[in-house]
Structure 1
Amino acid sequence: MPQLSVVVPVFNEQDNVASLVEEIVRALRGVTPFEIVYVDDHSRDNTLAILQQLKAQVPELRVLQHTTQSGQSTAVRTGVKAARAPWIATLDGDGQNDPADIPRLLAKRDASPPEVRMFAGWRVNRQDSGSKRWASRIANAIRTRMLRDDTPDTGCGIKLFEREAFLELPYFNHMHRYLPALMQRAGWQTVSVPVNHRARTTGVSKYNNLNRALVGVADLRGVAWLIRRAKITSVREV
């Protein structure tokens, strides 16, 4: 049985699939027993066909497909629910996250107390456009002020977390942007770990500054409400 499941949500990423799978395999074979769970969010290009071809070459690869487009958060949750390992690593499907950082996150986990259930990537040298970097800085500053989650880069796609802890979190669309705050709300600790970040070389981004801002306002207010209403109770058997 795998000890780590690498969950990768994708939508129209036909030019990035094969190279990213190869990088994941290269980073993890010989490090830990693992599986790769790709979740195709009803792509309209050849993403699914390429994944099906890769399954014959990569025994660790599993492929799931949404029958309707459902969004990144739902794709991540689909992959986590299907995963067979107790710990999950997530990667964006565009190739900007570096799979070579996963062993670093695993090492950080092994050196941390059990109360830490999430290790969030922190893109200290982002390779996005200037406007996207500025928009993220503003959004992170507002989010930190409202949620006090002490996470400098909650939008980074590479994360390592315990499967069971994730599945206990409240589910809603766009929840993937607030995972550290939601983990802390559940009573767990989170740690941010500096990771590599790469420029997108093929394909196009599925988000822009405007649509992220529009949904972010409502989501941020909702998460802040969830945090205010949280109740954590210690339990002992008597």
Structure 2
Amino acid sequence: MRISVVLPAHNETGNIGRLVEETYTVLPRDLLQEVIVVDDCSDDGTREEVLALRPRYRSLRYLRHGTRAGQSAALRTGIRASSAPVIAMMDGDAQNDPADIPNLVAKLGEPGSDGPALIGGLRADRKDTGSKRLASRAANWIRDAVLKDDCPDTGCGIKVYWREAFMRLPFFSTMHRYLPVLFLTYGYRVDYVPVNDRPRMAGKSKYTNFGRALIGLYDLFGVTWLRKRTAVPPVAEDSAEMGEMSERETAA
């Protein structure tokens, strides 16, 4: 399965270029189709850092938002521009390890099959500060109590999934935090694989524990409402399939 790697980034000078180079180095050529960096209106050297790599990596694509719209919007912009059937997403801060991607892809079902449509990363050895780890555990507990989606690590940025499945999902400004439960809501299977976690080497996080908590509670109510209002019934009869069966019987 060929993949498009999508990297949302905002003010990630010192991280994004290193991550792009590492991605091209560790991923097999027969797996990687392209890398798409979506710059969410950075005002540092993110643009120059990425464009300096274009002569070396012809399948590297750089997209820039005209106004800042957030990580989910950047992710969606990159996926809409992608050409492979499978998406691998990572955070632009280089805390995700691209060497984990082949392991995630290996557990992913073929697009259109009954296998898992999303494989999420599960950080086994967190490198964040103690306060962030504590906040993450609390958020995971509250989220699972409300959504019951059995997602063990909601904040892990590395995931692989079917492009066509993502494009079916409703868009909202923080949907990247709820991809597993949205996939489940739309009838897809999800699974998880342990992945590496690395410390941030440059810049600073765009989120605070308090800010993330406030947005998380607001979104939790919205996603709960969305799940209750979403119905994806199985198709019990398809006239097109019946027509194909009739043609085969006539030919026989």
Which TM bucket (shorter chain)?
over 0.9
**Separation in structure 1 between the aligned mates of residue 49 and residue 18 of structure 2, nearest angstrom:** 11
One-letter amino acid of the structure 1 residue matched with residue 129 of structure 2: S
Deviations 1:173-206 (A, max 9, x none): 1110000000000000100111000011111000
Cross-structure match for 1:7: 6
Q: Does residue 1:126 correspond to 2:126, yes or no?
A: yes
* Matching residue of 1:233: 233
Contact 1:118 1:161 in 2 (8 A): yes
* Aligned position for 1:70: 69
Shift of 1:136: 0.5
Match of 2:39 in 1: 40
Mean CA deviation greater in 166-175 or 21-30:
21-30
| Match in the other structure for 2:243 | none
Paired residue for 1:101?
100
- Local SS of the residue matching 1:151: coil
Kept in 1: contact 2:121–2:158 (CA 8 A) = yes
Corresponding position of 1:153: 153
Sequence identity (%): 49
| 1:8–1:76 Cα contact (<8 Å) kept | yes
Alpha-carbon shift at residue 33 of structure 1 (Å): 3.9
In the TM superposition, residue 111 of structure 1 has moved relative to its aligned partner by 8.9
For 1:192-211, list aligned pairs within 5 A: 192-211=192-211
Q: Measure how far apart 1:30 and its partner are.
A: 3.2
- Runs of 5+ consecutive residues of structure 2 not aligned to the other structure: 240-252
The range that moved more, 114-123 or 102-111, is: 102-111
Partner of 2:114: 114
- Contact map agreement 2:37 2:62 (CA 8 A) in 1: yes
CA contact (8 A) 1:28 1:34 kept: no
Partner residue in 2 for 1:53:
52
Which protein is bigger by CA-based radius of gyration? 2
Deviates further, 106-115 or 205-214: 106-115
Q: Secondary structure at the match of 1:54?
A: coil
Listed one character per residue, the Cα deviations across residues 102-150 of structure 1 (whole Å, up to 9, x for unaligned) are 0111111259963410000111211000000000000000001111111
Q: In structure 1, what is the equivalent of residue 249 of structure 2?
A: none
Residue identity in the other structure for 1:16? N
Q: Aligned partners of 1:204 and 1:31: how far apart in 2?
A: 34
Structure 1, 217-226 or 50-59: larger mean CA deviation: 50-59
Letter in structure 1 aligned against 2:52: Q
Identify if the C-alpha distance between structure 1 residues 63 and 111 changes in structure 2 by more than 3 Å, giving closer, same or farther. closer
Q: Deviations over 1:41-79 (max 9, x none)?
A: 000001011211111111120000000011001000100
Mapped partners of 2:209, 2:33: distance in 1: 35
- Tell me if structure 1 keeps the 8 A contact 2:122–2:194: yes
- The runs of 4+ residues in structure 1 deviating greater than 2 Å are 110-115
Residue 203 of structure 2 aligns with an amino acid whose one-letter code is: G
In the TM superposition, what is the alpha-carbon distance from 1:26 to its structure 2 partner? 1.2
Q: Aligned-pair distance for 1:219?
A: 0.2
**TM superposition shift of 1:171:** 0.5
Residue 186 of structure 1 is matched in structure 2 by 186
TM-score where L is the length of structure 2: 0.91
Q: Superposed, which structure 2 residues align to 1:215-226 within 5 Å?
A: 215-226=215-226
**Shift, 1:14, TM fit:** 1.1
Q: Is the 8 A contact 1:9 1:38 kept in 2?
A: yes
- Tell me the amino acid that sits aligned with residue 13 of structure 1: E
- Tell me the equivalent position of 1:168: 168
Counterpart residue type for residue 12 of structure 1: N
Number of aligned residue pairs: 237
